Structure 1
């Protein structure tokens, strides 16, 4: 392509490998083919490539290049460039799964498509959680227009790899030699079967630290259950950002959303006789606050019919949504208790929830390794055994995939930040909410009764006792389920 004239479709090619040596090897191979196929006498020259950084500064990195009489070139960049938007041509991103930030490299290359360029992304796998494999899954889901080509070791053998090796090595090919060579390659991995499948069969391995394999999560996901997302309304011309709206207006906005989006889901499960539980993960400016609401059925299977997810939600509205949802659950069924994230700003909300519903119901959780050791294996086992059912959602699945076993303990790594389907940042929020929900269900079921005092002059607990925004103010109830052994850790 580089040797062809522009009128014949000629163009330059930029190779981006993960190491300097691979760039040099690529250029040498191209030069060798050019000499034999295009009959061109070529030399490889080394030069400094100006790599423009996101902040506008630039640094020079070593690069290799061969020029053709057509005016085009093949250029091998010796590291991961931050920005090649000023170039035109075709791009090959090699060993993409091993780049430090392959997503940034791809974003930089996308500008070449405007001028008719082509992007080729090539790699062996490097685990199921790697951005390269995520790109493949998203392409298969229709989110990109890439075409996927899979070439396994067996494909290469079928197309003459063994014979090529014999030619290069000076061996005499034979059926017996081929079988022995094939067996030797496979057996070289020993007991590391997953590593062999990843390298030879293009099947990404789960990775030693992955807590929940993808197949388990998807088997426990159903589109019968719902995830309801709240995000602040657009900036108002007079009122400004939602967080600065008057309190009454903010409450009315949240209440309307709860009535429209949440009440129908919870009402569908009214009067089933099962005990409901809550798991919560708190966030404010970035990440998401998640509320996982569900129950344990007669066969001890955990169901999560509803996850409420709130992005950039003011504290007051998080409290409003939490109290509204739990109050509605208590009206429709029984509420056994919940575990709330008490880290950082979540401590205040967890404390207020414990004051409202009783400390025997609400655990203000600051998780320790001891707590994770106790609850993590049970949470994992629920997915392995298929005894939990959750909403089918790409973001929730992605959150659960971030959980890892570190030092023998299930954890959410602190340095993990992923991008959700809405473009916002996530830190495994849905996974922590589900983990807390599951841990809450491990307590003994509360007795089948509850107590709600009624103010004088009202016939029910929902008269003068209600706030004007429809948020029922249920007074503190006597401790239910005392002795269930759930202490804050």
Structure 2
């Protein structure tokens, strides 16, 4: 059967579009198609004459990619409607949208536009405008709970109602204390009068309304009852022990706490392409090899992979380091961090190790510490099994330079806000890597304290491995070192990196 024979929208999408309130807010589960339905409504609205309710439509997503996806949906709908009705519609245009903040400062935002014969247009912005109040018409704020300044965005949007505009707010949840959830509760409590309405669309709603059948249709597969059950369980089981996150992302039930501390857009702004994320992942049998073979293998790896990256470091900058130690389940992360005269933090590369014996982790760590230009100091995780490596490193490089940190709730409360602040202020740069992005977003506010929760997420480079916000921990430790280690750079007499011996055979 053809699941779209009776229409391209599912029942919950139709119900959402039927709501005519000036303020519409949708609490949604992932991939429930609400934004897709909103694209169709925007095309109908922008292509209609003013007498029929036509107006400009502005889409504000939390990432540039969301804007491109939305305008792409609109273009497809427009072409179909243009063929059916012979109505005028332009192609997608890319242009610079002029934005002006309250102080009169002007900036230009990349934007995408489709213009219609009605005189109205659909505009998708690549980032949040400072002056939402300047947008007249229908404004769609997608993934509102993840915007840089959620409260300011929602407050500014309500000003549009003065001129008869419409506000559409769509998002998955990001914690109970997030302003998006607070606004949803305020609407339910009728604090916005009868001009606002809340709608909830969960993953289960979408499944009941034919989501699985549509997935099969697009993939050219035949839907079956057994296949549907297996597909449904696969989606649910993908969250593993992260039940609260599963309920938030699929069932639209917000988690306790404030949710994610650092919006994805802040992390995107900090990322720079062309920087290495080095990885050494070994299997469980490696530790049973003779010590000289293990050392030779790692020396060879250092020569081939690590030494060229170290050679590219800026010799004029002071360097620090943070290390979040792990031995078996999680990744052990080494995060070098330089600081320039403006106190900007830069992460030139990241070293990831999985199931690497402690002796070989020390081999790599010592190589990096001896090779960092103008090395000042480091902070190492000395919690649990990391205590021995932290102590040995302090013995080697000096206890005044190597901080042995017992990570606790109190430590998180004192130092994690300073790491989060770097992203808010745009004062940190780092490699462009999806796993690192995922790690930074693992920092959550729990009862007022930003910290890395125990939930694990799947590693994007190796789906068989899982992460625990590992880079976020190492980055916070590195930033702690920049603030706490006050000794000057290591003197010239300190040992330089020993070149690893090349070998023709190693452990594979």
Q: TM-score range by the shorter chain?
A: 0.5 to 0.7
Aligned to 1:222: 272
* Consecutive unaligned residues in structure 2, runs of 5 or more: 16-25, 37-61, 76-136, 142-149, 159-166, 179-257, 503-508
- What is the aligned-residue RMSD (CA, Å)? 4.6
Q: Per the alignment, in what secondary structure is the counterpart of residue 454 of structure 2?
A: coil
Range moving further from structure 2, 210-219 or 243-252: 243-252
Aligned to 2:428: 388
Match of 2:303 among 210, 235, 259: 259
Match of 1:325 among 368, 371, 380: 368
* Consecutive unaligned residues in structure 1, runs of 5 or more: 4-8, 27-94, 103-119, 126-135, 152-181, 454-460, 471-489
| Structure 2 CA distance for partners of 1:212 and 1:469, relative to 1, 3 Å | same
Give, in whole Å, the separation in 1 of the partners of 2:305 and 2:151.
Answer: 51
Tell me how far 1:191 sits from its aligned partner: 7.3
Is the aligned partner of 1:450 residue 2:495? Answer: no
| Structure 2 CA distance for partners of 1:123 and 1:288, relative to 1, 3 Å | farther
Aligned to 2:359: 316
Q: Is the 8 A contact 2:376 2:490 kept in 1?
A: no
| Structure 2 CA distance for partners of 1:194 and 1:422, relative to 1, 3 Å | farther
| Structure 2 CA distance for partners of 1:97 and 1:255, relative to 1, 3 Å | farther
1:23-42 to structure 2, matched below 5 A, reads none
Q: Per the alignment, in what secondary structure is the counterpart of residue 317 of structure 1?
A: helix
Q: Is the 8 A contact 2:27 2:170 kept in 1?
A: no
1:241-260 to structure 2, matched below 5 A, reads 241-260=285-304
Tell me how far 1:417 sits from its aligned partner: 3.5
Tell me how far 1:204 sits from its aligned partner: 4.9
Tell me how far 1:124 sits from its aligned partner: 7.4
Match of 1:305 among 348, 360, 366: 348
Q: Per the alignment, in what secondary structure is the counterpart of residue 353 of structure 2?
A: strand
Q: Is the 8 A contact 1:277 1:293 kept in 2?
A: yes
Tell me how far 1:141 sits from its aligned partner: 13
- The structure with the largest helix share of the pair is 2
Tell me how far 1:321 sits from its aligned partner: 0.8
Query: For residues 149-186 of structure 1, what are the alpha-carbon distances to aligned partners after superposition, in whole Å with 9 as ceiling and x for unaligned?
Result: 689xxxxxxxxxxxxxxxxxxxxxxxxxxxxxx99xx9
Q: Is the 8 A contact 1:275 1:445 kept in 2?
A: no
Q: Is the 8 A contact 1:278 1:337 kept in 2?
A: yes
Tell me how far 1:243 sits from its aligned partner: 2.4
Match of 2:168 among 200, 218, 221: 200
Tell me how far 1:443 sits from its aligned partner: 2.9
Tell me how far 1:288 sits from its aligned partner: 0.8
Q: Per the alignment, in what secondary structure is the counterpart of residue 442 of structure 1?
A: helix
Q: Per the alignment, in what secondary structure is the counterpart of residue 384 of structure 2?
A: coil
Q: Is the 8 A contact 1:251 1:469 kept in 2?
A: no
Tell me how far 1:264 sits from its aligned partner: 1.6
| Structure 2 CA distance for partners of 1:467 and 1:226, relative to 1, 3 Å | closer
Q: Is the 8 A contact 2:444 2:452 kept in 1?
A: yes
Q: Which has the larger radius of gyration?
A: 1
Aligned to 1:209: 259
- Taking structure 2 as the reference length, what is the TM-score of the superposition? 0.51
Aligned to 1:65: none
Give, in whole Å, the separation in 2 of the partners of 1:438 and 1:444.
Answer: 10
- Taking structure 1 as the reference length, what is the TM-score of the superposition? 0.52
Tell me how far 1:221 sits from its aligned partner: 0.8
Q: Per the alignment, in what secondary structure is the counterpart of residue 345 of structure 1?
A: helix
